[in-house]
Chain A
Amino acid sequence: MRRILSVLMENEPGALSRVVGLFSQRGYNIESLNVAPTTDNTLSRLTLTTTGDDLKIEQITKHLNKIVDVVKVVDLTEGAHVERDMLLVKVRAEGAQRDEVKRTTDIFRGQIIDVGPATYIVQLTGPIDKLDSFLSALGEAEILEVVRSGVAGMARGEKVLTI
């Protein structure tokens, strides 16, 4: 089962490598990883998606908590939550494709953020499956390059992850 773990950790050099190292050392896989400072610049927030049964996720959570730099760990998938991934895709946009790509982008409420003589960069934000279906909806258009931010997520409602 796919899980989204949110981790608050000290914004210290080496902290990220400890988290990533844990996954490789213990044979857990990371599907996506997103990390950036928070409003409190002593803390970073990391969102990580992985797969595993309850037992495995429990072990991962315990081991994450053991890392001295880690302040808090939550499994977002345990409750109601929102998740967003951001996609940038560079597509060939020539001739008929130029309009076609624009139309598909509009349908998915994406934005064209760079217009070249023969290319577009489209930006799209949403849950993973929306981004996946956008990519397949591009259909005939030639995809030149794709980059995704990795999932970022938050619990819905009153629940907050702070210290």
Chain B
Amino acid sequence: MEQLSGGDMIVRALEDEGVEYIFGYPGGAALHIYDSIFKANSVPHILVRHEQAATHAADGYARATGKAGVVLVTSGPGATNAITGIATAYMDSIPMVVISGQVQSHLIGEDAFQETDMVGISRPIVKHSFLVQRTEDIPSIIKKAFYIATTGRPGPVVVDVPKDLTHPEHKFNYEYPESVSMRSYQPSTKGHSGQVRKAARLLLNAKRPVIYAGGGVIQGEGSELLTRLARKLNYPVTNTLMGLGVYPATDRQFLGMLGMHGFYEANMAMHHSDVILAVGARFDDRVTNTVSKFCPGAKIIHIDVDPASIAKIVPVDVPIVGPVTTVLKDLDAQIDQQQSSSERTLPDAGAIADWWSQIDNWRAAHGLWHGRRYGDSDFIMPQDAITALYEATDGEAYVTSDVGQHQMFAAQYYKFDHPRRWINSGGLGTMGFGLPAAMGIKLAMPDAEVACVTGEGSIQMNIQELSTCAQYDVSVKIVNLRNNYLGMVKQWQDMQYDSRYSESHYASSLPDFVKLAEAYGHVGMEIKDKADLEPAMREAFAMKDKLVFLDIFVEPHEHVYPMQVAPNGAMKDMWLSKTERT
């Protein structure tokens, strides 16, 4: 059998796992591993400029491809810098394997140079973690790490490797395991058939149904099945912020996003529904608004691969634990069977038609895509900037975002017709996510259009990655909706603090982003004039092999609407503009 050092084993295991990229940053405790990377010259390594960016890049890669993202960092500050990105991936259930160097085994616990208890510090934000104790265990631990990260409800896994175990002269047998079985980890493979039957009955007898689909449907590759089911039943569908793209946005049955900045018709339909089919969604507080007022007349069917997500926030009538694909297939079959064995036609076509006309009334009244729902100003309106992006990319781009108003405008106005195209930090809400995530996606899919919608606040949280983009020719397009404020903070200050803008602006300290982009060897474009918006957007995307930074000056005082009324509001309670509420 082949004899390898621990460092070589790590690289070989990644190769055997089919890893396409390692995103990382070297340092003392990881140097043996880095030497193995150099010598093996097999899996390409992307040198970021900050470990947080390595985790976001691996995360973006994972969200767009469905494969686990891989990160390599050194101990101490390398490990702690990775924490925000690990937490970001954890909150959105993204498969990721993070390998961190650790000080030598005999120094652990002695406050050695660059020692941090990585397993301890990451414990609440990982799906699982390993502290390697013997070099011989490396292949099986890496195999397990990928298995755990990618199966069941996915999530990040940390593998902490003391430096001495990667020493080039200490060689051991290497064999990468073909498969894994763990008695303590057996994700569910099938939903309970009795529950599926109940769910079908409830769904078919609904008069005011809504399908509420979340990020779990994307992770579980269930978008097609869900779309087919919804079309067959002619039921309305709303997607969460994480689920945009599950159901095609341009389809008639799509109600738009729901929740805090969700569409009027989506929130109204949820509130007035009698049956909710929740799939791969977790009733986040950004969706439900006040839980005690959540959808008072609705019976709830909840499909999720994670039993702990079910009935965590709201009581559920029909819980189904299982992978979304198998459960949706079973549900589909049950529906067929109950439809053909029933004497009446199911669902009740009259009731569903009435429900649709109610929904169409809501749409006509305040639907975001059914009329212009925002004002105008001398500035470019941020919503128009997103529409221009949508048109310049034919709705086919991978769009990452940072966190703030620009994120919500992108979610509202870019119509995502496919899963895995809308990439944002929904759970943790991490500013600084957008650019490195876009980098990871563009590397995975060099021919795809990748845009990062950001704000002048967020982009500065990982702006150093412009250098990484230069090194690896990562030609993403950065769409900076520059409103000169931490806009989302300012919006809350306008609404709840009498417009006292405590620390939500930068005086006149913002850099010249055009020059900044140019300094890194990229293209910068300043867009102030409305007439320039569309041509500039097209021009930028025509520069296929250039990173273009579009600095778009938008209306500084615009708010994101709808916005659910809080505290104590129900889903149906929304502000629709600065002056109008439901």
Give min CB distance, A31 to chain B, whole Å.
22
Binary interface encoding of chain A residues 36-68 relative to chain B, with 1 for a CB under 8 A from any of its CBs, else 0: 000000000000000000010011001101101
Determine whether B119 belongs to the interface, using a CB cutoff of 8 Å to chain A.
yes
B119 contacts A14, CB within 8 Å?
Answer: yes
Contact B312 A10 (CB under 8 A): no
Evaluate contact between A17 and B120: CB separation under 8 angstroms: yes
CB interface residues, B 264-312, toward A, < 8 Å: 306-308, 311-312
In the bound complex, residues from chain B placing their C-beta under 8 Å from that of A62 are: 307-308
Evaluate contact between B184 and A71: CB separation under 8 angstroms. Answer: yes
**Contact present for B311 and A58 (CB under 8 Å):** yes
Q: Taking the complex as formed, is B148 at the interface, i.e. its CB lies under 8 A from any CB of chain A?
A: yes
Q: Give the residue of A13, A18, A66, A71 whose beta carbon is less than 8 angstroms from that of B308.
A: A66
Central interface residue in A10, A17, A66, by most chain B CB within 10 Å: A66
* Chain B hits for A18, CB < 8 A: 123
Does residue B535 face the partner (Cβ distance < 8 Å to A)?
no
Q: Are B184 and A10 in contact (CB under 8 A)?
A: yes
Please measure, in the bound complex, the distance between the C-alpha atom of A39 and the C-alpha atom of B183, giving whole angstroms.
17
Stretch of B93-101, B125-133, B353-361, B473-481 lying at the A interface: B125-133
Which positions 70-84 of chain A face chain B at CB distance < 8 Å? Answer: 70-71
Report if A163 contacts B (CB, 8 A).
Answer: yes
A58 to B148: give the CA distance in the assembly, Å.
23
Chain A residue contacts of B1, Cβ below 8 A: none
Residues of A within 8 A of B185 (CB): 68
- A14-B119, A68-B182 are known contacts. Are A55 and B124 too (CB-CB below 8 A)? no
- Provide the residues of chain B in CB contact with A71, threshold 8 Å: 183-184
| B123 and A59 contacting across the interface, CB-CB below 8 Å | no
**Chain A residue with the shortest CB-CB distance to B133:** A13
Choose from B119, B124, B131, B148 the contact partner of A68 (Cβ within 8 Å). Answer: B148
Indicate whether A68 sits within 8 Å of B128 (C-beta atoms), given known contacts A17-B123, A59-B312, A63-B308. Answer: yes
Residues of A contacting B119 in the complex (Cβ-Cβ under 8 angstroms): 14
Interface size class of B (residues with CB under 8 A): 10 to 19
Specify the chain A residue showing the minimal Cβ separation from B157: A68
Number of interface residues of A (CB under 8 A): 20
CB neighbours (8 Å) of A17 from chain B are 120, 123
Chain A positions 2-18 with a Cβ under 8 Å from a chain B Cβ: 9-10, 13-14, 17-18
Chain A residues with Cβ below 8 Å from B306 are: 66
Contact residues in A for B307 (Cβ distance below 8 Å): 62, 65-66
Complex: chain A residue closest to B308, CB-CB: A62
Tell me whether A163 and B312 are in contact (CB under 8 A): no
- Interface flag for A25 (CB, 8 Å): yes
Interface of chain B, main secondary structure:
mixed
Query: Once the chains bind, are A21 and B124 in contact (CB under 8 Å)?
Result: yes
Q: How many A-B residue pairs have CB under 8 A?
A: 37
Partner of B131 from A14, A63, A66 at Cβ < 8 Å: A14
In the complex, whether A85 has a CB less than 8 A from a CB of chain B is no
Interchain CA distance A70-B127 in the complex, whole Å:
13
CA distance A10 to B130 in the complex (A): 13
- Contact, CB under 8 Å: A69 / B129: no
Residues of A within 8 A of B312 (CB): 59
* CB proximity of B180 to chain A, nearest CB, Å: 12
- A13–B119 Cα distance when bound, in Å, is 11
Q: How far is the CB of B165 from chain A (nearest CB, A)?
A: 15
How far, in angstroms, from A114 to B278 measured CA to CA in the complex?
63
A10–B312 Cα distance when bound, in Å, is: 26
A7 to chain B, nearest CB (A): 11
Specify which of B128, B184, B308 is in contact with A59 (CB 8 Å cutoff): B308
Q: Is the Cβ of B129 less than 8 Å from the Cβ of A14?
A: yes
Mark out the residues of chain B between 183 and 234 whose CB falls within 8 Å of any chain A CB in the assembled complex: 183-185
Contact A21–B148 (Cβ < 8 Å): no
Q: Which of A116-163 contact B (CB under 8 A)?
A: 163
Closest to B144 in A: A68
**Distance in Å: Cβ of B390 to nearest Cβ of chain A:** 39
How close is B321's CB to chain A, nearest CB, in angstroms? Answer: 10
Closest to A18 in B: B123
Question: Using Cβ atoms and an 8 Å threshold, which residues of chain B touch A70?
Answer: 184
The smallest C-beta distance from B58 to any residue of chain A, in angstroms, reads 21
Are A69 and B184 in contact, with the CB atoms below 8 A? Answer: yes
A61–B574 Cα gap in the complex (Å)?
A: 37
With A14-B129, A14-B131, A62-B308 as known contacts, state yes or no: A68 contacts B120, CB within 8 Å.
no
A14-B131, A68-B148 known; A163 vs B124 contact (CB < 8 Å): no
Interface centre among A9, A13, A68, A69 (most CB of B within 10 A): A68
B131 x A13 contact (CB < 8 A): yes
Which residues from chain B contact A163 at a C-beta distance below 8 Å?
183
CB-CB nearest in chain B for A69: B184
In the bound complex, CA of A63 to CA of B307 (Å) = 9
Q: How far is the CB of A12 from chain B (nearest CB, A)?
A: 9
Please give, as numbers and ranges, the residues of chain B lying within 8 Å of A14 by CB-CB distance.
119, 123, 129, 131
* Contact partners of A13 in chain B: CB under 8 A: 131, 133
Question: Which of A10, A25, A65 lies in contact with B124, CB distance below 8 A?
Answer: A25
Residues in A whose Cβ lies below 8 Å from that of B120: 17
Q: Give complex CA distance A25, B123 in Å.
A: 10
Contacts of B129 in A (CB 8 A): 14
Give the residues in chain A near B123, CB-CB below 8 Å: 14, 17-18, 21
Give the shortest distance, in Å, between B47 (CB) and chain A (any CB).
Answer: 31
For residues 151 through 202 of chain B, which have their beta carbon under 8 Å from a beta carbon of chain A?
182-185
Contact partners of B182 in chain A: CB under 8 A: 68
Please measure, in the bound complex, the distance between the C-alpha atom of A59 and the C-alpha atom of B308, giving whole angstroms. 6
Greatest chain A CB density within 10 A among B129, B183, B306 is at B183
Min Cβ gap A75→B in Å is 15
CA distance A103 to B183 in the complex (A): 50
Q: 28 A-B residue contacts at CB 8 Å? A: A9-B184, A13-B131, A13-B133, A14-B119, A14-B123, A14-B129, A18-B123, A21-B123, A21-B124, A58-B311, A59-B308, A59-B312, A62-B307, A65-B307, A65-B308, A66-B306, A66-B307, A66-B308, A68-B127, A68-B128, A68-B182, A68-B184, A68-B185, A69-B184, A70-B184, A71-B183, A71-B184, A163-B183
**Contacts from B to A (Cβ < 8 Å):** 119-120, 123-124, 127-129, 131, 133, 148, 182-185, 306-308, 311-312
The 5 closest A-B pairs by CB, nearest first: A62-B308, A68-B128, A71-B184, A62-B307, A68-B185
Given A17-B123, A71-B183, 13 extra CB contacts under 8 A: A9-B184, A10-B184, A14-B129, A18-B123, A21-B123, A21-B124, A58-B311, A59-B308, A63-B308, A66-B307, A68-B148, A68-B185, A70-B184
